[in-house]
Structure 1
């Protein structure tokens, strides 16, 4: 009998619907102008734990651990300002007050390390809080066209992150598996 593959999961903060729609418009604009569409596959989010494989049998332990983290944390008021980039292919919206996200990330990493096994490459020890609007399917040529526009473009928004969101990949797309209210 063939062994089934362990599902993929990731953990993030997701903005409210209004901001999600605003970010989606930015992603659609990049798709139309610069032929980059992979960022549209996911809702706007700030990654707290990059995708990792885990045996589905461990979901209960993971959700219990995330519930404990969420119960002890408070909702985060986050400010977004301007755009940034990684490696000449990724464009994102900056989180201008990353400290609360970094602390929450640290708490998650400590709990995950003692709750589930992860490959070293799956551990996200350092993060740069951001919301991606164009990802690695943006060609280097198109990045050179897009970045000067976004580099000088103004963007400002804020939102209160009220939940941790656990996503699970269904083989084709990412689904919300569970949300955990920050502060219980």
Structure 2
């Protein structure tokens, strides 16, 4: 584990626009009020491109510069959210429709950052499964089925244009955007 006095946590993502973030936030509040799930409330609605990683504080400006130097062939594209799904009994999320452009953006972003930060950012060997988290890690096993019974019945469909990626940093209470890069 890294020392929080000398290191910070970061992640890189495509953020949902405010109108979708507000709707996702309402679902997170529902989970908090019924099942005391609060972990997902620390982040804005997003699709993770590079999961959280620790980095020495003195390298933060290099991280921001690396974000700004990202040059990808990906152009603005539309992301479709449709209904809800889950990973085992640990995560409930708004599902992202299959999108090869999003996969290309994730690969280009990962490759770009690993080149500079190979000591902190490792290639993700898991298949890319983009999603917008509603609840994670703090769903009690006995609550998952009750929560899922609610979400599996909901019709949910939203779309939004994606044209930038965001770098987020964890403060004690929440994740904050500290830099963005348009593609």
For the Cα contact (< 8 Å) 2:72–2:108, is it kept in 1? no
Q: Residues 173 and 149 (structure 1 numbering): CA distance in 2 closer, same or farther, change over 3 Å? A: closer
- Call closer, same or farther: CA 1:71–1:100 in 2, change over 3 Å: closer
Deviation of residue 119 (structure 1)?
4.7
**Secondary structure at the counterpart of residue 7 of structure 2:** coil
| Structure with the higher fraction of residues in helix conformation | 1
Number of residue pairs matched by the alignment: 180
2: CA distance between counterparts of 1:140 and 1:76? 37
Deviation at 1:93, TM superposition (A): 0.3
CA shift digits 1:18-51 (9 cap, x unpaired): 1110111111112223322221111111111111
Compared with structure 1, are the counterparts of its residues 3 and 95 closer, same or farther at alpha carbon in structure 2 (3 Å cutoff)? Answer: closer
Determine if contact 2:49/2:106 at 8 Å carries over to the other structure: yes
Partner residue in 2 for 1:107: 108
Structure 1 runs of 4+ aligned residues shifted over 6 Å read: none
TM-score, normalising length: structure 1: 0.87
TM-score (norm: length of structure 2): 0.88
Write the distance in 1 (CA, Å) between the matches of 2:172 and 2:37: 21
Instruction: Give the C-alpha shift of residue 3 in structure 1.
Output: 9.6
Spell out the pairing of 1:45-64 with structure 2 (5 A cutoff). 45-64=46-65
Instruction: Output the CA distance in 2 between the equivalents of 1:18 and 1:63.
Output: 27
Aligned-residue CA RMSD in angstroms?
A: 2.1
Matched residue, 2:147: 146
Q: What does residue 133 of structure 1 align with? A: 134
Q: Secondary structure at the match of 1:69?
A: coil
Given that 1:70 and 1:163 are in contact with CA atoms closer than 8 Å, whether structure 2 keeps it comes out as no
Q: Secondary structure at the match of 2:161?
A: strand
Cross-structure match for 1:181 = 182
**Alpha-carbon separation, structure 1, partners of 2:110 and 2:160:** 24
- Structure 1 residue runs without a partner (length 5+): none
CA contact (8 A) 1:58 1:116 kept: no
